[in-house]
Amino acid sequence: MLKRTPRTGWQFLAGAETESVADHSFRVAMISFVLARLEPGEIDADRILRMALVHDLPEARTGDLNYMNQKYVQADEEAAAADLTRGLPFSDELDALMAEYRAEKTPESIIAHDADQLELLLQLVENRDGGVPGTDSWVPFVLKRLRTSSGQQLAQRILDGDSTRWWFDQDSDWWVRGGKG
C-alpha cells in the first residue's frame, strides 16, 4: 500500500517531483544507515535501520498527512500500527519500534527522525535544482528539526552541493564522447 500512497506535501510546490511513502521510507533507511555510522557514541545501528524501515507503516492505514493536514486532522497512528501488526508473530517488535520512533526519546529514534528530515531536505534540493520555485522557503524549518550534530553537518553538505554532481562530473572530459576515445 505504501507504494501507492503519495507523499502529499509536494502538492504545495507547483512542479515538484512526487514520491510515494515507500520511496521516502527506503531513502530514510539508507540515510539512517549513514547517520548511524557518523553519529558518535554507543548506539544500536541495527535498531535505527529497522525503525527507519517501519517509521511510516501506519500511513498504509491513515494516508500521508502533510503539515497543513495535521493542523486540522489527528491520525491515530498507534491504533493504525496495532491494526497493521495484529496477528503477526513479531507484532510486539514492530509495535515497539514504531512507538519508540513516535516518542522521540532514545538516541536511536532521534537519529531516525533526523534521517527522515534529511530525506525531505534531499528531495527539496533535488526539486530546487530542477527549477521548482518555493523550495528554499521550506529549508529553514527542516534545519530547525535536526537534533544530531551528524544530521546538521550532513544537511549543510547537502545544501552546499548540487544534486546532480554525484553522477555528472562536469570537470571530466569523459562527457565529450562518453568514453569512446
Q: 78-134: per-residue pLDDT in tens?
A: 999 999 999 999 999 999 999 999 999 999 999 999 999 999 999 999 999 999 999
Could you tell me the sign of the dihedral formed by the alpha carbons of 134, 152, 120, 64, in that order? negative
> Where are the chain's structural domains?
8-177
Residue 167 pLDDT exceeds 90: no
Q: What backbone phi and psi angles, to 5 degrees, belong to 95? A: -60, -40
Residue 168 pLDDT exceeds 80: no
pTM here?
0.92
Average pLDDT (153-170) is 87
The string of pLDDT tens digits covering residues 32-71 is 999 999 988 899 999 999 999 999 999 999 999 998 999 9
Report the C-alpha gap between 57 and 75 in whole angstroms: 13
The string of pLDDT tens digits covering residues 101-111 is 999 999 999 99
Residue 163 pLDDT exceeds 90: no
Query: C-alpha cell of 178?
Result: 562518453
Average pLDDT (11-16) is 91
Closest CA to 34 of 160, 142, 119, 147: 119
Query: C-alpha cell of 125?
Result: 534540493
Closest CA to 20 of 119, 104, 98: 119
Domain covering 8-177, topology: Hypothetical protein af1432 (1.10.3210)
117 contact partners, CB below 8 Å, separation of at least 6: 142, 145, 146, 151, 155
Report the C-alpha gap between 49 and 37 in whole angstroms: 11
Residue 169's pLDDT band (boundaries 50, 70, 90)?
confident
